[in-house]
Amino acid sequence: MEANGFYSGATLAIHGGAGRIVRGRMPGARDAELRAVLARVLGEGRARLEAGVRALDVVQHAVEALEDDPLFNAGRGSALTSDGGVEMDAALMDGEAGAAGAVACVRAVRNPIALARRVLDDGRHVLLVGEGAQRFARECGVTGADDAWLITDERRAELASARAAGRVSLDRDEPGALGTVGAVARDARGRLAAATSTGGMTNQLPGRVGDSAILGAGTWADDATCAISATGHGEAFLRVAFAHEVDAALRLGGLTLRAACEHALARVAARGGEGGCIALGARGTPLAAFNTQGMVRGWVTPSSSPAVALYADEP
């Protein structure tokens, strides 16, 4: 992904987390599995963009597909809290209207991003959490999921080792481990949208909320500036209002999209955080920026094949 083009047509970019994604150190067939899933999701997104589907719907569908795949730390396969439960955060934002929906600390929902979309469409509120969000999910008829669906053996093993080591860990502290997901899109009419979904951090306290569900931290879209989906140490991204910092650097500082993302990431690093983002501007091709060893990422346009990358040395 590069920021120096001036392509202003429809585009979708997705990510599956940034972290210790190191060539030759991925377990088993994970490298190939990740590339295959990203290519499939991008292919489906391209078909939607070609059909004229609006950016908000395109990012929602992409994130739902990634939530359903246990390879990622969102929906099925979410990281586990210190009490062994699943608490998921998700948000999406429509850059045209500035409308947004978010949910945090939700259990027993198959696709938290679909619930966030219901919050956006309902329009009364922007962020619902915990039991209230779950009640709203039931009222809306959003598909539920039990722990047998959401919790995987790999996540149980990660919680056991995090407990034994007495640490709260990012999903990607181990080489090749599984990441938070996100998507940014621009549709044929130039509308931008962003969506992010996560299970948070392994062994996090129940009730902890990271940056993903917080607008202006992990998720942001404004047609005039950019669409952003971030991933990494949520506390650091929250403390620098990461996504809004990118927006402000574009809007007020006149930086390029890449310079704006790198500026905001430097602030994350100064707070001791690691991670990255995918970003898309009102014009130009999408980009990924990260201060980790790798980031699971890909992008597509109606006229290009899906491009997928995992390591820092890939374009």
Q: Which residues contribute to the site for ligand ASP (CB under 6 A)?
A: 17, 73, 170-171, 179-180, 198, 200-201, 210-212, 218, 231-232, 234
Judged by beta carbon, residue 173 or residue 187, the one nearer ligand ASP is 173
Judged by beta carbon, residue 223 or residue 237, the one nearer ligand ASP is 237
Rounded Cα–Cα distance for residues 81 and 205 (Å): 6
Please give the positions annotated as active site.
Answer: 180
- The answer to whether residues 158 and 168 touch, using CB atoms and an 8 Å cutoff, is no
Judged by beta carbon, residue 204 or residue 301, the one nearer ligand ASP is 204
Q: How far is the CB of 206 from ligand ASP (least distance, A)?
A: 14
- The answer to whether residues 183 and 194 touch, using CB atoms and an 8 Å cutoff, is yes
Look at the block and give the residue holding tokens 């589907």.
Answer: 53
Judged by beta carbon, residue 73 or residue 111, the one nearer ligand ASP is 73
Rounded Cα–Cα distance for residues 91 and 245 (Å): 18
Q: Give which of 172, 148, 150, 169 is closest to 160, Cα–Cα.
A: 169
Q: How far is the CB of 292 from ligand ASP (least distance, A)?
A: 10
Q: How far is the CB of 170 from ligand ASP (least distance, A)?
A: 6
Residue nearest to ligand ASP according to CB distances in the complex: 234
Q: How far is the CB of 232 from ligand ASP (least distance, A)?
A: 5
Q: How far is the CB of 181 from ligand ASP (least distance, A)?
A: 9
Judged by beta carbon, residue 176 or residue 218, the one nearer ligand ASP is 218
